[in-house]
Amino acid sequence: MTRRLLSVPAVLLRQDTTTAAELLVLRHENAVLRRQLHAPVRHEPADRLWLAALSSLIPRRRWKHVFPVTPGTLLTWHRKSVARRWDYSQQRRRPGRPPTNTACPA
């Protein structure tokens, strides 16, 4: 959904899309760093989703210069988020044989 929301301004402003997306990445990076001043930088799932969505608006040749993580890390985050979305874990039941009825007197 985030990706689609970000693509609307991209259609309207084709020339400034890359620049605007780069600025959004940098602003988000600053917010993450401000949030974790005295701790090692850890990107939360929401941060990862945001960066993965913005990556579709920026040409790949610029990724190395714009994102605070490597392109491989970005692609891994995206792959994991898609896999998590489509793993059907909500529909799974407990493993093993279902419980049997209590024994009936014969």
- Quick one: pLDDT band at residue 2, thresholds 50, 70, 90? low
Give 10's pLDDT tier (boundaries 50, 70, 90): low
The pLDDT value recorded for residue 72 is: 85
Over the chain, what is the mean pLDDT? 76
CA distance linking residue 75 with residue 83, whole number of Å: 12
- For residue 27, pLDDT beyond 70: yes
Separation between Cα atoms, residue 7 and residue 71, nearest integer Å = 20
- At residue 56's C-alpha, the angle toward residues 50 and 58, to 5°, is 100
More confident residue, 1 or 29: 29
Across 45-67, average pLDDT: 82
For the beta carbon of residue 86, count every other beta carbon within 10 angstroms.
8
pLDDT value at position 105?
61
